[in-house]
């Protein structure tokens, strides 16, 4: 590990310090002639000179038994907005969606939301209980769950408050902060239907109440119809065990519905004849309307999209010419059918190319291959799902819901991109 060639490989002459890494590539091409297909003014030393990594040896296997992203990617991390909450233990951070591509969110940078902190619980300590209006109240160990028929499905999990800071106007300057309370993972686990069948739901059991092992317990009520439709408990995400911050060893997956229902460290499933009206489904996660009354049971996350690049954290760094406009689209009502992109703030729209086969209640990637003329753009995207629901504008939402509903803001986002390619969060009129 400390022999000379390896060290040298890690410290080439031009120094890959953190301060330099974003700059290095940029300077290497400095002085070249502007224009696509142009000739270089002078040979590129990255090509003509033998680089340390082309001569010395790199790291051997097992240098990192569990690999982390190369340090050049250290900036691709979850970020917190400290002033949002009183304490980081009951708080939220944001997925760096601006810096990711494809659709699957790596667990290590998928947003976290805790109500009493992320708890440490082993698989051996884990117990799940089913109680209430069932023929057989049951206790499962983690091992027991592994013996039940298993399914693997991809779904997005979006906090109801994603974009909630934007109700009053453009506030946070970055896709990570305006739209980063979402992740999209491939979950493996057992359907709630399988578990509830084991316990035998009595005819009067019309709701379940789910709660976690942590001090908040974050209890939520879910109608039996949804529980039996597509809910599952998950013990794996993206092929490996859940991370502690996402509910290791077992969390609930409630496809298409707000993230608060996806109870982590799932401890108990109670079967009842009505909703519990817990703290999280009355005082929180209800939508205050302009008349002072509030909508409740607004579980489904409606169709939404955002351009992730270019965006404030991911400006256009080059001049006019070919570029890729890309983003994410999702709907809690089903599959994404289409995504439109506007370059002029919604005057004219063109349909983007879907980069992946849309999945049910899963994130879809879209691309617009664009020939930029170097002029300012007002970038917007508009998701349309298979039910025909069209992502509304913020004005449309505010006309109905006012400014104080906090949750379920799925309005169309605008990034203003200036001549230099820098992007910022704006609202347009």
Partner 1 sequence: MSKCRKLITTTALITVFGAVPALADTLGVGRLALPEEIAAWDIAVMPDGRGLPEGRGNVLDGEDYWIDQCAVCHGDFAEGAGAWPAIVGGRGSLTDDRPEKTVESYWPYLSTVWDYINRSMPFGAAQTLETDEVYAITAYILYSAGLVDDDFELSNENFTEIRLPNEGGFYLDDRAEAEFPEFTQDPCMSDCRDPVEISARATDIDVTPEFPVIRYSYSDGSAPAPAAIEEADEASVQPEEAPAEEAIQTASLDPALVAAGEAAWRQCRTCHQLGDGARNGTGPQLNDIIGQTAAHADGFRYSPAFTEAAEGGLVWNEETLDAFLENPAGLIPRNRMSFRGVRSEDERAALIAYLMSYSN
Q: 353-392: which residues touch partner 1 (CB under 8 A)?
A: 378, 382, 384, 387-392
Q: How far is the CB of 4 from partner 1 (least distance, A)?
A: 25
Query: Smallest Cα–Cα separation from 254: which of 286, 273, 295, 226?
Result: 226
Beta strands of 107-231 (E only): which ranges? 113-114, 127-132, 138-141, 151-158, 182-191, 207-212, 220-223
* 267 touches partner 1 (CB under 8 A): yes
Choice from 296, 353, 369, 373 touching partner 1 (CB under 8 A): 296
CB 370 within 8 A of CB 316: no
Asked if 268 interacts with partner 1 (CB under 8 A), we say: yes
Site for partner 1 in 181-220 (CB under 8 A): 194, 197-198, 200, 209, 211, 215-217, 219
Residue of 165, 334, 197, 326 whose CA lies nearest to 257:
334
- Determine which residue in the list 129, 241, 244, 354 makes contact with partner 1, applying CB under 8 A: 129
Contact region for partner 1 (CB under 8 A) — 50-58, 60-68, 251-259, 345-353? Answer: 345-353
What mask of x and - would describe binding to partner 1 in positions 401 to 420, judged by CB under 8 A? --xx-----------x---x
Rounded Cα distance, 302 and 407, in Å: 11
Q: Which is nearer to partner 1, 56 or 389 (CB)?
A: 389
- Min dist CB 171 to partner 1, Å, is 5
Under the criterion CB under 8 A, does residue 29 sit at the interface with partner 1? yes
**In the block, which residue shows the tokens 């493996």?**
188
124 binds partner 1 (CB under 8 A): no
CA dist., res. 308 & res. 141, Å (int)? 41
Exposed, middle or buried, 227 (CB in 10 Å: 0-12/13-18/19+)? Answer: buried
**Comparison of 52 and 319: residue with beta carbon closer to partner 1:** 319
Does 59 help bind partner 1 (rule: CB under 8 A)? Answer: no
Contact segment (CB under 8 A) with partner 1 among 179-187, 239-247, 248-256, 271-279 equals: 271-279
- Torsion sign across C-alpha atoms 141, 147, 149, 154: positive
How far apart, in whole angstroms, are the C-alpha atoms of residue 401 and residue 288?
8
Min dist CB 126 to partner 1, Å, is 13
């Amino acid at each position: 590990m400390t022999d000379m060639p390896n060290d040298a490989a890690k410290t080439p002459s031009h120094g890959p310090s953190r301060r330099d890494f974003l700059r290095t590539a940029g300077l290497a091409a400095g002085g070249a002639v502007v224009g696509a297909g142009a000739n270089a003014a002078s040979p590129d030393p990255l090509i003509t000179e033998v680089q340390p990594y082309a001569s010395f040896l790199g790291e051997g296997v097992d240098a990192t038994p569990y690999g982390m992203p190369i340090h050049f990617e250290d900036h691709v991390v979850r970020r917190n907005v400290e002033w949002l909450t009183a304490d980081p233990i009951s708080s939220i951070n944001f997925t760096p969606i601006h810096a990711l591509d494809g659709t699957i969110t790596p667990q290590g940078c998928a947003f976290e939301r805790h109500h009493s902190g992320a708890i440490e619980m082993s698989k051996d300590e884990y117990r799940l209980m089913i109680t209430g209006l069932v023929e057989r109240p049951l206790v499962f160990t983690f091992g027991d769950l592994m013996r039940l028929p298993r399914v693997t499905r991809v779904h997005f999990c979006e906090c109801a408050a994603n974009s909630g800071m934007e109700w009053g106007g453009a506030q946070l300057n970055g896709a990570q902060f305006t739209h980063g309370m979402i992740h999209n993972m491939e979950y493996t686990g057992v359907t709630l239907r399988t578990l509830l069948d084991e316990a035998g739901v009595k005819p009067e059991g019309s709701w379940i109440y789910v709660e976690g092992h942590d001090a908040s317990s974050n209890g939520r009520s879910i109608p039996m119809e949804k529980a039996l439709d597509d809910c599952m408990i998950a013990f794996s995400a993206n092929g490996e065990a859940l991370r502690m911050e996402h509910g290791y060893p077992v969390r609930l997956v409630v496809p298409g519905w707000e993230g608060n229902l996806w109870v982590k460290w799932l401890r108990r499933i109670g079967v009842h004849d009505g909703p519990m009206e817990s703290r999280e489904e009355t005082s929180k996660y209800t939508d205050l309307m302009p008349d002072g009354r509030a909508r409740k049971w607004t579980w489904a996350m409606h169709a939404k999209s955002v351009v992730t690049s270019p965006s404030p954290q991911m400006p256009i760094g080059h001049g006019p010419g070919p570029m890729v406009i890309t983003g994410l689209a999702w709907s809690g009502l089903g599959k994404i059918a289409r995504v439109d992109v506007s370059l002029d703030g919604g005057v004219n729209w063109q349909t983007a190319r879907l980069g992946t086969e849309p999945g049910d209640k899963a994130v879809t990637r879209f691309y617009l291959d664009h020939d930029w003329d170097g002029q300012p753009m007002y970038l917007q995207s508009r998701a349309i799902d298979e039910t025909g629901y069209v992502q509304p504008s913020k004005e449309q939402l505010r006309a109905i819901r006012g400014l104080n509903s906090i949750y379920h803001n799925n309005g169309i986002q605008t990034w203003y991109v200036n001549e230099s390619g820098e992007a910022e969060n704006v609202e347009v009129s």
